[in-house]
Amino acid sequence: MQSFLALRAAIEADRLTAEAAVAQSLEEIAAREAQIGAFEALAPRDAALAAAARAGGPLAGIALGVKDIFDTHDLPTTYGSPVFAGHRPPVDAAVVAMARSAGATVVGKTVTTEYAFLQPGRTVNPHDPAHTPGGSSSGSAAAVAAGMIPAAIGTQTGGSVIRPASFCGVAGYKPSFRLVPATGMKTFSWSLDTVGFFAAGVADVAAFAAALTGRPLAVEPVDAPALRIGVYRGAIWQRASAAMRDAVERAAALAEAAGAQLAAADEPEALAAAREAHATVQNHEAARALAGDFALHAARLSPVLRETLEAGFAIAPEAYDRARALARRGRHIAGTLFADHDVLIAPAAPGAAPAGLETTGDPLFNKLWTLTGNPCVAVPGLTDAAGLPLGVQVIARFGRDRTALSVAHWLEGLLAAPARPATAVNSP
């Protein structure tokens, strides 16, 4: 994989020009894209190199993949749907404009599931092409994991950053809700849609997000003896695979051995209820956000999307308001968890990437934290017995994104020394 930090260091030390760095990425894309299928559209090579040669700023030389749910003025934006084949927006989405302003070169639009929902695209998992890369940010995660680009932008409405990062063995960062603007992307659920980022490692994704946003997000040293970690098993713990449960337990044991204070973090009933409310909020809003698409192009939508929108139209405003009340209560209660814990750790996905390309996996272990808006990081470093990646999720208090990233980076270092498969089944 390409390290964002290593590339930036080489460029800043004049060992590599921005144009040469982007050229390296274009060569990797040419070598691997036919196998992985991570890109919906690619920028012309000459245009990309010319943009890199002109670029200045902290992202100069960074070949960036942008999920095809975001508007781009110079590349088609299809939202993963035939309804928008050949669509060319006149302006960039806000986050794309931010990236270009910081010097990034948008080399392509990465594959998204249809409208960033459940219908898979053509992307495969770089670790095993017979397995899903996850979704909906499938192309973004896979392009980084395959070493084609050093960074990519995605979105999460349920688990669409953290889950594919876990499946593909890269770092994924879902910021606190609305830390990064979501304007200029195809809305699915305005209460949940969140911009997120991918890079090879946690320090890479933190540095990329810092350069893009101008915020102090780069990882800091962690004072292990002062660190309080809660192991969040919750009501759905047993729905994670044995290998995934062991991965979380192993991460917790390594953290404790390194000096951190470890404790169980029990799941309040209000958070279990909020998790269940996620679907009502999401589907009611999706039906309203996509009402025009449904009215004009229902026959061109996938069956799973049509059925979800039909179910969403049937959700009465009163039921939606009750779900919103549960969500508000859940956000408040989520804050109380961090009175006793600096971060929580939990599964980043139910397990390793499932075999087959018909589905993108289950967002079960992510959707609560999307609903509450807490910052989350998928930490790579462990694998199952078959060698498929298993990510550990780090969650912090709303607005404490740098804490989440710094602890995730510290934990990543513990997991990497040495790399080890998570195969034991002794988890409770």
For residue range 76-98, list pLDDT tens digits in order.
Answer: 999 999 999 999 999 999 999 99
Q: What is the pLDDT, as a whole number, of residue 418?
A: 54
Asked if pLDDT for residue 421 goes beyond 70, the answer is: no
Q: 398 falls in which pLDDT band (50, 70, 90)?
A: very high
Asked if pLDDT for residue 212 goes beyond 90, the answer is: yes
Q: 427 falls in which pLDDT band (50, 70, 90)?
A: very low
What Rg, from alpha-carbon coordinates, does the chain have? 20
pLDDT digits (tens, 9 = 90+) for 218-258: 999 999 999 999 999 999 999 999 999 999 999 999 999 99
- Return phi, psi of residue 171, to 5°: -85, 135
Respond yes or no: is residue 191 known to be catalytic. no
Angstrom distance (rounded) from CA 206 to CA 230: 22
| Active-site choice (25, 67, 138, 186) | 67
| Active-site choice (25, 81, 136, 138) | 136
What is the overall mean pLDDT for the chain? 96
Q: What is the pLDDT, as a whole number, of residue 417?
A: 73
Helices assigned H by DSSP within 42-182: 45-54, 94-101, 138-145, 162-168
* SS3 at position 55: coil
Respond yes or no: is residue 166 known to be catalytic. no
Asked if pLDDT for residue 422 goes beyond 70, the answer is: no
The secondary structure of 60-98 as a DSSP string is: TT-EEEEETTB--SSS---TTSGGGTT---SS--HHHHH
Q: What is the pLDDT, as a whole number, of residue 420?
A: 47
| Active-site choice (25, 140, 160, 302) | 160
Respond yes or no: is residue 67 known to be catalytic. yes
- Give the relative orientation of helices 401-415 and 242-257 as an angle to the nearest 10 degrees: 100
Asked if pLDDT for residue 262 goes beyond 70, the answer is: yes
- Give the relative orientation of helices 94-101 and 202-213 as an angle to the nearest 10 degrees: 90
Q: State the sign of the Cα–Cα–Cα–Cα dihedral 20, 63, 124, 354.
A: positive
The b/e string for 256-265 (b: 16+ C-beta within 10 A; e otherwise) is: eeeebbbeeb
Asked if pLDDT for residue 216 goes beyond 50, the answer is: yes
**Which architecture, in CATH terms, is 4-213?**
Alpha-Beta Complex (3.90)
